[in-house]
């Protein structure tokens, strides 16, 4: 059986640490080291903060988290109800960081970062170190 975790949260900022800690706890149960869990917690926290900040419409707010672990690979999906965005280019023409520091951080800490549905779905993937 593949371990899974799912939860939905209202779009209040106070739910970010709750969701971030739930993701970290799931990663720990999957056998990631404390250092790996720290990286996963930080990357997920960035995506969760973005979901709260940008993930609301006039009709609804909130976000959901889904984690799965298969073949030594953790997948975290964070969905929100926002209008979406275009991921920024990370470096401007002058070589300066052009916004998106959280995205850069996620990309440094995780093996793969994907944006779907105009950025209202973020998928973070990390394999266990061998």
Q: What are φ and ψ of residue 117, in 5° steps?
A: 50, 50
The ranges assigned to domains in the chain are: 4-127
3-state SS, one letter per residue, for the chain: CCCEEEEEECCCCCHHHHHHHHHHHHHHHCCCCHHHHHHHHHHHHHHHHHHHHHCECCCCECEEEEEEEECCEEEEEEEECCCCCCCCCCECCCCCECCCHHHHHHHHHCCEEEEEHHHCEEEEEEECCC
CA-closest candidate to residue 36, choices 5, 90, 74? 74
CA distance 20 to 43: 9
Lowest mean pLDDT, pick from 6-10, 26-30, 61-65, 84-88: 84-88
When pLDDT is averaged across residues 14-21 and rounded to a whole number, the result is 96
Lowest mean pLDDT, pick from 55-59, 62-66, 88-92: 88-92
Around Cβ 92, how many Cβ atoms within 10 Å? 11
Q: pTM for the whole thing?
A: 0.86
Residue 81 has pLDDT above 70, yes or no: yes
Percent of the chain clearing pLDDT 90 (strictly above): 62
What CATH number does domain 4-127 carry, 3.40.1390.10, 3.10.520.10, 3.40.50.970, 3.30.565.10? Answer: 3.30.565.10
Residue 107 has pLDDT above 80, yes or no: yes
Q: Residue 91: what pLDDT?
A: 47
């Amino acid at each position: 059986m593949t371990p899974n975790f799912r939860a939905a949260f209202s779009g209040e900022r106070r739910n970010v640490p709750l969701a971030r800690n739930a993701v970290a706890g799931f990663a720990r149960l999957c056998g990631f080291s404390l250092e790996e869990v720290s990286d996963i917690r930080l990357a997920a926290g960035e995506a969760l903060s973005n979901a709260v900040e940008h993930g609301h419409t006039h009709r609804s707010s909130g976000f959901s988290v889904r984690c799965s672990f298969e073949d030594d690979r953790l997948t975290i999906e964070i969905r929100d109800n926002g209008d979406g965005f275009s991921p920024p280019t990370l470096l401007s023409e002058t070589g300066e960081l052009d916004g998106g520091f959280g995205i850069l951080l996620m990309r440094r800490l995780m093996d793969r970062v994907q944006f779907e549905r105009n950025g209202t779905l973020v998928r973070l993937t990390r394999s266990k170190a061998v």
